[in-house]
Amino acid sequence: MTTTAAASGPVPGALLKIGLWAAQIIVFVLFILFGSMKLFMPVDKLAAMWVWPGQVPIWFLHLTGILDVAGGIGVLLPATMRIQPRLTVYAALGCTLLQIVAIIFHFSRGEAAAVPLNIVLLALSVFILRERSKYAPIAPRQ
């Protein structure tokens, strides 16, 4: 996407820009936090907080941690640095898909109590995906 293409679309309002940056920071913080916990906390401590980490293979737990950290970084860093900012949209898509899978996973295991957080993260990810791809794209650095 070129600067001209980004500038030729509808001009987003200040409130939308503030909301988007806030959503991106929240998603970044939460995905990094949860991903780091899955990667670095002992499984028994995680299982005391959430049931499922003690019931899945360690590779699955670490994979979800890596995906969380990658999604969190991808949602914020490319947009902030304005280097390949379209990667923010792809990261938001990945975060959206990850939350859909997490909701299905938790419901399938009877862990409905875990789902509200996933729904909030899903809503924030969809908001970032939609708005950064259509209404408030970030122009790459010149």
Q: What integer is the mean pLDDT of 63-78?
A: 98
Pick 12 or 75 by higher pLDDT.
Answer: 75
Which amino acid is it at 33? L
Q: What integer is the mean pLDDT of 72-89?
A: 97
Q: What integer is the mean pLDDT of 76-104?
A: 97
Q: What is the pLDDT of residue 142?
A: 87
Half-sphere exposure of 135 (CA within 13 A, CB side): 13
d(C-alpha 84, C-alpha 7), whole Å: 16
Count CB-CB contacts under 10 A for residue 111.
13
**Given a cut of 50, is residue 5 above it in pLDDT?**
no
Identify whether the C-beta of residue 86 lies closer than 8 Å to the C-beta of residue 138. no
List the structure tokens of 25.
């920071």
How far is C-alpha 138 from the geometric centre of its chain's CA atoms?
A: 17
Sign of CA dihedral 33, 36, 38, 42: negative
Q: Which band of pLDDT confidence, cut at 50, 70 and 90, is reported for residue 26?
A: very high
d(C-alpha 133, C-alpha 19), whole Å: 15
Question: Of 105, 101, 114, whose CA–CA distance to 71 is shortest?
Answer: 101
Q: What is the pLDDT of residue 93?
A: 98
Percentage with pLDDT > 90 across the chain: 89
